[in-house]
Amino acid sequence: MIEKQLIRCVRCNALALFSSVDRSPEYRWEQGKWKVLERDDQAQFLQAHRGHELEKLRIVKDSFISRQNYLEPVGTSYFEAISGEQCVVVKRSRETILAPQRYELIPGRLRLTPGELRIDGSAIQKAFEREFSCLQLPPDKVNRFVQQLEETVSRLNPEELKRVPFESHNPSLWYFYLDGGVVDRVLEKSMEFLNKREVSGVDEFLRKNLEEPLFMAVAEIDFQIESSQEHKKTEFQDP
C-alpha cells in the first residue's frame, strides 16, 4: 500500500498529496522513443513554499468518493480530511493526463447517501435455471420468483443491510449482503405461486449462497458537501 500524506501550506492555502510514487520517473513516448522524465512533485511543492508554515492533514479513511472509475487518470474526486479540529472536504481534480492534480479545500463534510438497491435479476435467473430442473421449478415460476426478489430488494433500506467490505473499481457503487430476513420476506410473497416443496428448495439454495457475489445488492452513491461555514448544502455535478 502507498503511504500518503496530505500537506497544506497555511500561507498560500495550497495542498499537495505526497506519496511514495511522487518520486518515480515518468516515461513518455516522444518522437519514436521512450523518454524518461525525472520528476519529484514533493520537492517542487516544498521548494515553492519554502519558509511557509506547513500543516499535515489527516485523511479520513473510507471517505473517498468519485463518479469515475478508480483507474481513470483524469477527473474529480472528493475525500474528507481533518485540519486541526476542523473537518474539511478535499476536492481533487486533474484535467488532462499530463496536468498535475489540483486540490481544493472546502470546510464541511461529505454526506454519502446510497440510492435504490438493485440485484442482477438476469444472472440470478440463469443460476436458478442451472440449479433447478424444469420439474423442480418450472421456468415461469423462476421468472416470477426473480421478479419478486428484484422488487423486494428495490424497497429495502440500505442502512438495514450489512455492507460488503470490498472496494469495487467504481467508488460510487456500494455492495450489500442480503440476509435471512430478506429471504423470508421474498419467500412469503412467493407462496402465491410456489408450492411447499419449491419454497424449501429455493430457501435452501438462497441461504447457502447469500454471501456469493451473485446475490449481493448494489446501490449507487449520491454525495453532497455539507458546508460547515454557511450551513448549507452544495451539490456538485460532474465537470
Q: How far is the CB of 78 from Zn ion (least distance, A)?
A: 23
H or E stretch covering 220: strand 217-227
Nearer to Zn ion, 12 or 98 (CB): 12
**Region of 1-9, 29-37, 198-206, 229-237 interacting with Zn ion (CB under 5 A):** 1-9
Nearer to Zn ion, 11 or 233 (CB): 11
Nearer to Zn ion, 13 or 20 (CB): 13
Q: Please tell me whether residue 10 binds Zn ion under the rule CB under 5 A.
A: no
Q: Please tell me whether residue 67 binds Zn ion under the rule CB under 5 A.
A: no
Q: How far is the CB of 121 from Zn ion (least distance, A)?
A: 54
**Nearest residue to 236 via CA among 218, 224, 220:** 224
Q: Which of 8, 49, 67, 141 binds Zn ion (CB under 5 A)?
A: 49
Secondary structure of 149-169 as H, E, C letters: HHHHHHCCCHHHCEECCCCCC
Q: Are 169 and 71 in contact (CB under 8 A)?
A: yes
Q: Please tell me whether residue 12 binds Zn ion under the rule CB under 5 A.
A: yes
Nearer to Zn ion, 11 or 102 (CB): 11
Q: How many CA atoms lie within 13 A of 232 on its CB side?
A: 4
Task: With both helix axes pointing from N to C terminus, report the angle between 139-154 and 180-190 in degrees, rounded to the nearest 10.
Answer: 130
Q: Which of 4, 23, 28, 52 binds Zn ion (CB under 5 A)?
A: 52
- Within its chain, how far is the Cα of 141 from the centroid? 34
Q: Are 15 and 103 in contact (CB under 8 A)?
A: yes
E-strand spans in 20-166?
A: 26-30, 33-37, 54-59, 65-66, 75-83, 86-94, 102-118, 162-163
Nearer to Zn ion, 9 or 164 (CB): 9
What is the rounded CA–CA span in Å between residue 97 and residue 51? 31
Q: How far is the CB of 48 from Zn ion (least distance, A)?
A: 7
**Region of 41-49, 62-70, 72-80, 153-161 interacting with Zn ion (CB under 5 A):** 41-49
Helix, strand, coil percent content, the chain, rounded in steps of 5: 30, 35, 35
Q: How far is the CB of 15 from Zn ion (least distance, A)?
A: 10
Q: Please tell me whether residue 9 binds Zn ion under the rule CB under 5 A.
A: yes
**Region of 11-19, 22-30, 36-44, 177-185 interacting with Zn ion (CB under 5 A):** 11-19
Nearer to Zn ion, 13 or 154 (CB): 13
| 227 Rama sector, left if φ>0, alpha if ψ -120 to 50, beta otherwise | beta
Nearer to Zn ion, 21 or 48 (CB): 48
Q: Binding residues for Zn ion, per CB under 5 A?
A: 9, 11-12, 49, 52
